């Protein structure tokens, strides 16, 4: 009997060891309508598990722990969920606010920050336990609370975010997490609706919905304050109805240029990243939502708001000219490149599919089923600033 137990134990150990799983080629696909997420293997093109009961995922975003084992999902209902990508399980979940719009993970990987619409502000949690660490109300004016947008991580153990209602940018230093140090930049422009940080972590740029232009903060020299860039790139009477807000977190840098979606116009803006001057406005078939570069920077991939959301437009970053147009299916919501860019995954919501393309030949590799897929997030994001 004793020998049988030993043999059985060895069999279990061998079985467990026979199929080890690394985390570098894993990812998470958000299924918005079913409140679930798929754990996927990007190399094998297959679904590994489905995690359910994640709440309202209508504007969900994801960040990863530095060891790429855990994914943190920020739900629109204020939910913060921690998913174990190795054990295929929901490790922890809290509802920390009434209306949330995204989050970030700190430089050292120890803290998770969540930006909230209701109540307006940022809350910070332990990445290990999801225990509350700090609460930062976005107070302005006569004891009002602003909706918070554009929350990103920055070097120096900092978070940076924008206050939509107040027209401000705040920087939070988390070296002492129990007493965060807050620096406020006021009068940066009307209604910052989203923001981005450059891949080197130097520049934070907030797009403005209430007026033209963008607000730029040099994090190497915050004492210089916020600078307005591109103030005249669009006139108020030129703006079209906005069917879906562009995502500046889907902007991109390629070579010497920044490529960003133009709000309320059918254009992709090309900006010189040294002078922050507009180089060119590239006409595209619809209102751009995500503008994303293949990791080598040679191709720029663009998807669009309704009614043009069945298209994906490619731009050549060398010539700044339109190239190919792809038709993945109905309602393309998001795209994600594999870490070295040989493939791109596309979420096609209304066809309930994920489409994988070879980025050189632009040929379709495969299609995978998914229930109303929304965001696609690969674990390689763990090692990128602002993602």
Say if 274 falls within a structural domain: yes
Rounded distance between C-alpha atoms, residue 210 and residue 229, angstroms: 15
Q: What is the pLDDT of residues 37-78, one digit of tens each?
A: 999 999 999 999 999 999 999 889 999 999 999 999 999 999
- State the pLDDT at residue 256: 87
> Is position 307 within any domain?
yes
The pTM for the full model equals 0.92
Confidence band, pLDDT 50/70/90 cuts, at residue 8: very low
Which distant-in-sequence residues (6+ apart) come within 8 Å of 265 by Cβ?
Answer: 234, 238, 239, 240, 281, 287
For residue 17, the model assigns a pLDDT of 42
The boundaries of the domain holding residue 313 are 242-325
Identify the CA nearest to 248 among candidates 283, 203, 279.
203
The CA distances from residue 152 to 203, 225, 249, in Å, are 11, 18, 9
Residue 117 placed within a domain: no
pLDDT at 208: 87
| Residue 261 belongs to a domain | yes
Phi-psi domain of 276 (left: phi exceeds 0; alpha: psi -120 through 50; beta: other): left
Q: How do beta strands 139-140 and 267-272 pair?
A: unpaired
**CB of 239 within 8 A of CB of 264?**
yes
Q: Which among 178, 186, 220, 182 has a CA at the least distance from the CA of 203?
A: 220
Give the residues across from 238 on adjacent strands. none
- Residue 303, domain member (yes or no): yes
Q: Does some domain include residue 58?
A: no
The two structure tokens encoding residue 324: 């190919």
State how far the alpha carbon of 235 is from the alpha carbons of 231, 239, 261, in Å: 9, 7, 16
Task: Please check whether residue 254 lies inside any domain of the structure.
Answer: yes
What total of structural domains would you count in the chain? 1
What are the pLDDT digits (tens) for 316-369?
Answer: 999 999 999 999 999 999 999 999 999 999 999 999 999 999 999 999 999 999
- Per DSSP, the three-state class of 52 is coil
> Does residue 136 contact residue 172 with C-beta atoms inside 8 Å?
yes
Q: Residue 241: is its pLDDT beyond 70?
A: no
In this prediction, what percent of the chain has a pLDDT beyond 90? Answer: 80
CB 251 within 8 A of CB 260: yes
Asked whether residue 124 is assigned to any structural domain, the reply reads: no
For the segment 118-128, the average pLDDT, to the nearest whole number, is 97
Asked whether residue 231 carries a pLDDT value surpassing 90, the answer given is no
The candidate with the shortest Cα–Cα distance to 317, out of 335, 341, 301, is 301
CATH number at residue 294: 2.40.10.480
Residue 352 DSSP class: T
- Are the beta carbons of 90 and 82 closer than 8 angstroms? yes
Q: What is the pLDDT of residue 247?
A: 60
- The helix/strand/coil state of 112 is strand
Mean pLDDT of 275-300: 94
List the beta bridge partners of residue 348.
332, 353
- Given a cut of 70, whether residue 275 has pLDDT beyond it is yes
Q: Is 296 a residue whose pLDDT tops 80?
A: yes
Cβ within 8 Å of residue 272, ≥6 positions away: 256, 257, 258, 278, 279
The confidence score (pLDDT) of residue 248 equals 61
Q: Is the per-residue pLDDT at 3 higher than 80?
A: no
pLDDT surpassing 50 at residue 123: yes
Burial class (CB in 10 A: 0-12, 13-18, 19+), 83: buried
Could you give the CA distance from residue 275 to residue 124 in angstroms, rounded to a whole number?
35
Give the pair of three-digit tokens for residue 376. Answer: 């696609």
């Amino acid at each position: 009997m004793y020998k049988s137990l030993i043999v059985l134990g060895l069999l279990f150990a061998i079985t467990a060891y026979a199929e080890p799983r690394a985390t570098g080629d894993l990812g998470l696909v958000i299924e918005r309508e079913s409140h679930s997420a798929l754990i996927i293997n990007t190399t094998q093109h297959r679904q590994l598990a489905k995690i359910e009961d994640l709440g309202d995922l209508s504007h969900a975003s994801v960040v990863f722990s530095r060891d790429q084992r855990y994914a943190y999902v920020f739900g629109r209902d204020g939910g913060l969920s921690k998913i174990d990508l190795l054990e295929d399980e929901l490790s922890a979940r809290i509802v920390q606010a009434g209306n949330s719009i995204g989050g970030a993970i700190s430089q050292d990987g120890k803290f998770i920050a969540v930006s909230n619409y209701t109540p307006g502000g940022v809350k910070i949690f332990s990445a290990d336990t999801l225990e509350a660490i700090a609460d930062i109300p976005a107070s302005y004016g006569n004891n009002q609370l602003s909706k918070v947008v554009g929350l990103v991580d920055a070097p120096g153990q900092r978070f940076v975010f924008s206050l939509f209602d107040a027209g401000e940018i705040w920087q939070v230093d988390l070296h002492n997490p129990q007493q965060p140090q807050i620096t406020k930049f006021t009068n940066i422009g009307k209604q910052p609706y989203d923001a981005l940080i450059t891949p080197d972590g130097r520049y934070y740029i907030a797009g403005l919905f209430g007026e033209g232009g963008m607000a730029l903060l040099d994090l190497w020299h915050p004492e210089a304050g916020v600078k307005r860039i591109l103030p005249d790139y669009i006139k108020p009477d030129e703006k079209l109805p906005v069917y879906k807000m562009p995502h500046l977190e889907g902007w991109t840098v390629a070579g010497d240029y920044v490529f960003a979606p133009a709000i309320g116009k059918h254009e992709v803006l090309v900006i010189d990243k040294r002078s922050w001057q507009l180089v060119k406005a590239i006409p595209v078939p619809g209102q751009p939502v995500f503008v994303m570069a293949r990791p080598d920077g040679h191709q720029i991939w663009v998807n669009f708001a309704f009614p043009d959301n069945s298209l994906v437009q490619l731009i050549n970053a060398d010539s700044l000219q339109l190239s190919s147009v792809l038709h993945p299916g109905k309602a393309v919501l998001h795209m994600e490149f594999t870490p070295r860019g040989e493939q791109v995954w596309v979420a096609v919501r209304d066809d309930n599919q994920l489409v994988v393309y070879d980025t050189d030949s632009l040929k379709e590799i495969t299609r995978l089923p998914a229930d109303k897929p929304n965001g696609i997030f690969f674990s390689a994001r763990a090692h990128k600033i602002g993602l």
